[in-house]
Amino acid sequence: MRNGVIAFRRDGTLALMNDEAYRIFGLKASEGDVGRPFADVLRERQEIIRVLSGAFELSHLPNRAELRLKELDRVIGYTLSQVRDDGGVPIGAVMFFKDLTQVEQVEERERLRDRLASLGEMAAGIAHELKNPLAGIEVMAGLLRRQVPDSKDAQSLLADILSEAKLANAIVVEMLEFVRPVRLQVERTDLGEVIQQSVTMAESKVNRGDIAVLTSVEPGLPMIESDHHQLSQVFTNLIANAFEAMNGKGRIMISAMTAVIEADPAFAGIHPPTPAVLIEVADDGPGIPGDLTDRIFNPFFTTKVTGTGLGLAIVRKIVDAHDGRIDVSSTPDTGTRFRVTLPVSSASGWFK
């Protein structure tokens, strides 16, 4: 990762600012920048001006401090030091900095992964322990049903017991599915086919009612290297969520098109963007309240009475295993749009 450098003289005029600095600050270099007051050149970045302005006032200059550039949604790590002449008089200052945004995102992902790993072990243990007693309940309720063929009340109670036990079992199976490490069986996959199957599977899980489902697959969309079965699960979960949110009416638009995944900004220009496909699942349902969008991918986060909250956690896990990206944008009352970007061929091998 390259460093940004910015240097200025005691009188506040800019002495140097390298390309990386312009890039990180999201500014365009222009001819006369050097020699102009830095506060002028950086006027769109007030946070930086504030830091630089303190260069001659603070007795202790920050070494390895962090600064969040709110408008750019970027974090930089920086060191600020004075430049002195032979007599020790400050004649200028220089700031070295790095774009930490990517680093922060990676760390965040790692923290999440660790948390999920220990949570996963626990959940796997519990799920495993629950499987046997649940199977016992099912079998015994079935036996009892045969012993009281004539009692209507008992039959209906036993039917309830059986269906509740089945529901509990389904949760256990889903939980085990979630905690199991993803192992991809990669094959050349036709996304049009995956989408079609996912619609059918979502319909069998959730009542579709009068919801219209429109799909549009860009002609000539490349086949991708992926795990067909697991990708179907991704789109089944997204479509099932939309069905559940929309309550039997409205429209879901599923579209697939060619796209690219941009390289890490620090390497842009060195690594070309990766060829990819983008699949969007957009509904015109009630949307997700803004304060919840950060949490919907968390395991066990649900707003539904009978939900386990694992659907999107599994989705994210599978997309990650494909080196893909997923994001969501949602406006209350207008709808929700999930965007899944998958590389045409996965860089990091076939098994994870």
Ligand X SMILES: Nc1ncnc2c1ncn2[C@@H]1O[C@H](COP(=O)(O)OP(=O)(O)OP(=O)(O)O)[C@@H](O)[C@H]1O
- Residues lying near ligand X in the complex (CB under 6 A): 237, 241-242, 245, 283, 285-286, 288, 296, 301-304, 307-313, 336
Q: Is 343 a residue that touches Mg ion (CB under 5 A)?
A: no
- Candidate segments 1-9, 31-39, 239-247, 287-295, binder of Mg ion by CB under 5 A: 239-247
Q: How far is the CB of 298 from ligand X (least distance, A)?
A: 8
d(CA 300, CA 296): 9
CB 216 within 8 A of CB 254: yes
Q: How far is the CB of 327 from ligand X (least distance, A)?
A: 13
How are strands ordered across the β-sheet holding 65-69? Answer: 14-17, 4-9, 90-99, 74-84, 65-69
Place of tokens 């996965």: 346
DSSP codes joined into one string, 156-195: HHHHHHHHHHHHHHHHHHHHHHHHSPP----EEE-HHHHH
Which residue, among 25, 19, 24, 18, has the nearest Cα to 42 in the 3D structure? 25
Which residue, among 62, 61, 64, 86, has the nearest Cα to 75 in the 3D structure? 64
* Beta carbon nearer to Mg ion, 241 or 336: 241
* Beta carbon nearer to Mg ion, 69 or 310: 310
Residue nearest to Mg ion (CB): 311
Q: How far is the CB of 174 from ligand X (least distance, A)?
A: 6
Q: How far is the CB of 132 from ligand X (least distance, A)?
A: 23
Q: Is 274 a residue that touches Mg ion (CB under 5 A)?
A: no
Which of the 8 DSSP states describes residue 268?
Answer: B
* Beta carbon nearer to ligand X, 92 or 309: 309
- Which residue from 101, 226, 232, 241 is in contact with Mg ion, where contact means CB under 5 A? 241
* Beta carbon nearer to ligand X, 230 or 241: 241
Q: How far is the CB of 250 from Mg ion (least distance, A)?
A: 17
Q: 332: buried, middle or exposed (CB in 10 Å: 19+, 13-18, 0-12)?
A: exposed
- Residue numbers 296-325 binding Mg ion by CB under 5 A: 311
For Mg ion, the binding residues (CB under 5 A) are 241, 311
